[in-house]
Structure 1
Amino acid sequence: MSLYEELMKANEHYAASFDRSSLTAPPARKLAVVVCMDARLTVEEFLGLRTGDAHIIRNAGGVVTEDALRSLIISHKLLGTREFLVINHTDCGMLTFKDEDLRRRLAEETGADASELEFHAFDDLEANVRAQVQKIKDSPFIADDVVVRGLIYDVKTGRLREVA
């Protein structure tokens, strides 16, 4: 059985006992989280959240890109979120390369122009968290009274540490 077939079979099992149709789009805890896409991060689990509690916005590095900010603005202005978390983590792959090196590699491998691509790699975890928090705070579209915090998740211990 292929991976896709396994996933579809799992969905059939899930749908057979589905009972979340009463959940509403606005998150119950009025929380939005920007976090890395790393498969080791089980955000709902390590934050004690349930389905429907928060908007989880994932990307490589947990970076507040233009698209992540777009999602936060929608979450805040249209769906009522009042608190944001930015969570990065130890042993992150975004610490292992530079944007220019990946652009060069892609150009060499594909022959396509990669000069405009932005990967948002970083070399200082704490500084990155602070920078992402500041991007949110600097947005004129996020109310000043929205609480924004930055944390680092330790993949070895499962603990969160606030840094911003």
Structure 2
Amino acid sequence: MDADDLLDRSRRDGARASAAAAAGLAAAPARRAVIVTCMDARIDPALLFGLAPGEAHVLRNAGAVITSDTRRSIVISQRKLGTRTVLLVAHTGCGLASFTDDEFSTELELDTGLRPPWRPGTFADPAENVAAGLRALRRDPFLLPDTELRGFVLDVATFALTEVPEPT
């Protein structure tokens, strides 16, 4: 599927359906929650958490890694749109566990002649990735101190969530 196929879908029904679903909704999520998860196409956060449009902010990136941009978005969501809960959801079988930062950076350098200025954020264990993300969020001075932070590993075979305790 290319961009034209996606745009055709939007013109056929997507735009109308999206407008109808968003009618009357505020930009602030009704459940005052932010979900950070992986961009893996198998994961549908709305289905997973039984969400309707307008109920949560959903932030996605490769590996559900807490980056400076993820922190920026969470802080804006909290300070300007009233969210108070953050769920961090990584998953089993994540592609970021299949290579290292150095391997990927070297691959890019060989292909382009440049090393990326950013870190890919690979990890070996999704639970350790979640724990590191919770630690980074808890230490962020701009995150509200009363934020409810919860982390999970999603089993992509069963879609069961296993909670990762917040590191102390």
TM range, normalised to the smaller chain? Answer: over 0.9
* Unmatched 5+ stretches in structure 2: none
- Write the distance in 1 (CA, Å) between the matches of 2:141 and 2:105: 32
- Write the distance in 2 (CA, Å) between the matches of 1:140 and 1:151: 23
**Identical-pair percentage:** 36
Aligned to 2:86: 84
Q: Which has the higher helix share?
A: 2
Kindly provide the amino acid, as one letter, of the partner of residue 123 in structure 2: F
Among candidates 110, 113, 131, match of residue 112 of structure 2: 110
Mean CA deviation greater in 139-148 or 15-24? 15-24
TM-score (norm 2): 0.91
Aligned to 1:31: 33
User: Structure 1 residues 72, 100: closer, same or farther in 2, change over 3 A?
Assistant: same
User: Structure 1 residues 41, 115: closer, same or farther in 2, change over 3 A?
Assistant: closer
TM-score (norm 1): 0.93
Does structure 1 conserve the Cα–Cα contact (< 8 Å) formed by 2:108 and 2:116? no
- Write the distance in 1 (CA, Å) between the matches of 2:16 and 2:68: 38
Aligned to 1:5: 4
Aligned length: 162
1:124 CA drift (Å):
1.8
1:115 CA drift (Å):
5.7
Aligned to 2:162: 161
Cα-Cα RMSD? 1.4
